[in-house]
Structure 1
């Protein structure tokens, strides 16, 4: 019996074909799943990652609330064109404290994985209020109300606690000082700035929205955008990625 004749057994008998499909799917699934039982973690540890500050976390929640992820991904793929446009490809560890992560594939707008420190706070403020003022061809809607809406911090401590419950390593000290740290990050002259910077390395304290004395939702969003892609020193990974 030739090979083609043997194959005809599967083509003419639906039960045999179905059984063969199930067996192949089972083998493929085992090959992918079994190795995971022998790994302590599927996420490579990298230096520099930390939980979001309370203000950054609030900004991230507003970012999600306004549906920004519908047009912006935060996942740079390991392909030459993406790396040249956006920077080093995304590492799984960069999203280890994101619930939910913002990787996705939708790109009506550019990927934001490395947007931190790419533009000034003033640029972000103007862009959020009137996108076409800085990007004439932008199709992004404006969010001027963010600059006028006071940031509600009443439940922010609960949000931090919830993140801690799902594995984000917030300390008791960080949880106890949520309100203090929000005020300190907004105001570089605050008496608690040094303690805030100690609790959250690689963070910055400044007036993000340009409205001294007023804590707005825009402050939170800009603080979040400015931290994206800034925590990891990617020069340590360039050789591995063959980017040099």
Structure 2
């Protein structure tokens, strides 16, 4: 091909550049829609409970992801500080994902179970009471906001339409599952069959009402707690990118 012709024509150079970039992009993207092993399943992963999902919505609404990332990179310093690096399967039911790109505060990918409910409550009400150097604002108002969950079945059904495997039973019992998880009462055994490792109990120290604080702490307490990285399959999984 006559390179001088291409170099002298801006339109031709642009068109050919676009074609080359498009081909390269398609080569990278198209296989992801065809290969079932793009995100290999890992034992332990499940959809969020209705209460955890509503907590995730609150976490997103309040912009927590802008100061806390949820992705541990596969570098020694990060793994030693935060735990096992993040793997793709841990985000397979996240819509949208909340990996984040900034750490004003620590990464939260493995915060689930690291602290008690009481610590999480104290931290959210008055961050400086447990971390004196923290610049995080108070979220005490969440204790006074009743959790709205009348339409939770519709919300879970919308997530099911984009691939989250909520069953008909999960949708049917969503309201009861919220009440069971947030109070520790009701058919908690049935809840745990559907959602293994779900944390139960009164998260905000106010048993008379289910609040947004209950939901947010329930979400924080499950982050990174589902996958057992002592299992070889999980421990050797490809890092998230």
Aligned to 2:200: 205
Q: Quick one: structure 1 residues 37 and 151, their matched pair in 2 at CA, closer, same or farther if it must change by over 3 Å? A: closer
Structure of greater Rg: 1
Q: Quick one: structure 1 residues 68 and 37, their matched pair in 2 at CA, closer, same or farther if it must change by over 3 Å? A: closer
Question: What pairs with 1:146-157 in structure 2 (closer than 5 Å)?
Answer: 146-157=142-153
Q: Quick one: structure 1 residues 65 and 37, their matched pair in 2 at CA, closer, same or farther if it must change by over 3 Å? A: closer
On the 8 A contact 2:68/2:103 being kept in 1, the answer is: yes
Question: What pairs with 1:1-244 in structure 2 (closer than 5 Å)?
Answer: 14=10, 17-18=13-14, 21-36=17-32, 38-188=34-184, 190-236=185-231, 237-239=234-236
CA distance in 2, matches of 1:37, 1:150: 41
CA distance in 2, matches of 1:168, 1:198: 17
On the 8 A contact 1:197/1:204 being kept in 2, the answer is: no
RMSD: 2.2
CA distance in 1, matches of 2:131, 2:30: 49
CA distance in 2, matches of 1:141, 1:128: 8
Give every structure 1 segment of 4 or more consecutive aligned residues whose post-TM-superposition deviation is greater than 4 Å.
Answer: 6-17
Unaligned 5+ residue runs, structure 2? none
- CA offsets 1:208-235 (integer angstroms, 9 cap, x no match): 1122222111111000000000000112
Shift of residue 13, structure 1, vs aligned partner: 5.6
CA distance in 2, matches of 1:109, 1:206: 27
- CA offsets 1:171-207 (integer angstroms, 9 cap, x no match): 111111111111111222x231111111211212111
Q: Quick one: structure 1 residues 21 and 155, their matched pair in 2 at CA, closer, same or farther if it must change by over 3 Å? A: same
CA distance in 1, matches of 2:3, 2:43: 53
